[in-house]
């Protein structure tokens, strides 16, 4: 695996750890409300749902880190594909910006992993 591919996969894993923290720990803070465009009332009412989403983002991060640890392009490609699909769904159902925050970086990392094989 190339250094670039490894850095991209690690970066996407760290992004998903950050999203986990925003959704599971910081959901009702001004930082998270700005990031997700929510209000204090909405954040209070949806904290359990956000924590559930955060947990899923943690699983994506864990899978990407596992793929790096065992140096498995197949595992990395699987979890990068999960990230890309989740980003497409989020862009279609929640906010178009998710496409650029999640799907585009995942697609770039997929390409880097494939080219480094």
Tell me what pLDDT residue 1 has. Answer: 81
State the pLDDT at residue 30: 97
Q: Can you tell me the distance from the alpha carbon of 68 to that of 53, in angstroms, rounded to the nearest whole number?
A: 23
Q: What is the mean pLDDT of the chain?
A: 97
d(C-alpha 79, C-alpha 106), whole Å: 9
Terminal-residue alpha carbon distance, the chain: 6
Query: Is pLDDT above 90 for 88?
Result: yes
Range of the domain at 84: 3-115
Write down the pLDDT at residue 50.
97
Q: What is the signed CA dihedral for 97, 85, 16, 6, rounded to 10 degrees? A: -110
Residue 117 reports pLDDT greater than 90: no
- Report CA Rg, the chain: 15
**How far, in whole angstroms, is CA 78 from its chain's centroid?**
13
pLDDT of residue 96: 95
Count structural domains, the chain: 1
Side-chain-side CA neighbours of 50 within 13 Å: the count stands at 22
- pLDDT tens track for 24-80: 999 999 999 999 999 999 999 999 999 999 999 999 999 999 999 999 999 999 999
CA-based torsion, 93, 98, 104, 107: positive or negative: negative
């Amino acid at each position: 695996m190339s250094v670039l591919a490894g850095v991209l996969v690690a970066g996407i894993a760290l992004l998903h750890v950050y999203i986990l923290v925003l959704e599971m720990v910081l959901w009702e803070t001004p930082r998270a409300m700005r990031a997700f465009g929510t209000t204090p009332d909405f954040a209070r009412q949806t904290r359990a749902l956000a924590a559930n989403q955060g947990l899923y983002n943690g699983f994506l991060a864990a899978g990407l880190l596992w793929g790096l640890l065992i140096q498995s392009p197949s595992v990395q490609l699987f979890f990068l594909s999960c990230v890309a699909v989740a980003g497409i769904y989020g862009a279609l159902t929640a906010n178009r910006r998710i496409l650029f925050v999640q799907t585009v970086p995942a697609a770039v990392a997929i390409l880097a992993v494939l080219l480094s094989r």
